[in-house]
Amino acid sequence: MKLYLKRPVIQGAWMWIQEGYRSGWEQAGLDVAYYDNLSDIKEIEFDLMIREWDIKSPEDLEVLSRAHRAYLFAQATTFPLPWGAHPNFQSSLTDEVRESINQMPNVYLWSFGDAFGYHEGWKKINSLHLAFDSVAYKQIEDSRYAYDICYVGGRANNGFDEKYKIMLSYFGKFRDSKRKVGIFVDKKLSHEQENLLLCNSTVCLNVHDNYQKTLGLTDTNERTFKSLGCSGILVSDREGFIPKHFPDLPVADTPQDMVDLTEYYLSMPPRQLSDIKETYRNIILKEHTYTARAEKALTFENT
């Protein structure tokens, strides 16, 4: 079966996320192709992974209805304020279009979290978290990219630019550190450079947007999985996913907690640190790859 994904047109996080899903579907046995416009899809038998904002016309709905299995990312309809006032946090579809999709038995809705109380008006939402791209990221040793403490990511302004303030608060604590610290925000690193930094650094850092922290949502960012899959050691601020899915992984409630936790790991005997890294790398490879996500999607049901 051929599965279609929309061709990425903008460099950014979603492009790499979609590449992860692409490799996951291929590892699960599907032939993946890209489309530019839904109307370009003429096959009778095909699967489709799509975001709701790619539905723009009745013709698009017709293609959606023809798919063998369509996996549609459904956006929230009643997201809490102040975030819910911004288009980035609200469904772009009308109630009428949403109901048309709800009536399609071949369409399986999904979103990144575990709970979907903000998705009123949608039929059943399936949970499909982000993951680790085990095809694109490989363990490669290169001492030039070895840092004691490392962060690689973008500013990720989702409309309120709150995450940048969180970055300044947490990462500013490392300004006077005597450790070798590499904080790379919006540095336009290549995939190869990111891979080398994450794999060769001892501790990887992570922070989340304010809505994720405040609401305790479980839609953790992809960095959680990349950091654990590559480095094996992650120190993150608190949101909803990590305490639920990695209960033994300490999280930072304050910027000082983040500093203290990194020192906790960096002061460990090498063998103990290596064992922890191996444990989390194995957990990621077993449970949190895009291949595992694709295989899970194949079991989605509408009831």
Pick the CATH number of 2-131+290-297 from 3.90.550, 1.10.3470, 3.40.50, 2.50.20: 3.40.50
Buried b (16+ CB within 10 A) or exposed e, 262-289: bbebeeeeeeebeebbeebbebbeeebb
Check residue 114 and give its pLDDT: 87
Same fold, 2-131+290-297 and 143-287: yes
Q: Is-contact 127 220, C-beta < 8 A?
A: no
pTM, two decimal places: 0.94
Task: Return d(Cα 210, Cα 186) in angstroms, integer.
Answer: 19
pLDDT of residue 302: 87
72-91 pLDDT tens trace? 999 999 999 999 999 889 99
**pLDDT surpassing 90 at residue 158:** no
Least confident segment among 156-165, 179-188, 226-235, 239-248? 156-165
* Cα four-point dihedral sign 187, 235, 130, 142: positive
What is the percent of the chain where pLDDT is above 90? Answer: 88
Type of residue at 208: H
pLDDT digits (tens, 9 = 90+) for 193-242: 999 999 999 999 999 999 999 998 888 999 999 999 999 999 999 999 99
121: left (phi over 0), alpha (psi -120 to 50) or beta: left
Residue 262, pLDDT above cutoff 80: yes
Percent of the chain, pLDDT > 70? 100
User: Around 158, how many Cα atoms within 13 Å sit in the side-chain half-sphere?
Assistant: 18
Domain ranges (residues) in the chain: 2-131+290-297, 143-287
What confidence score (pLDDT) does residue 64 get? 97
CATH of the domain spanning 143-287: 3.40.50.2000
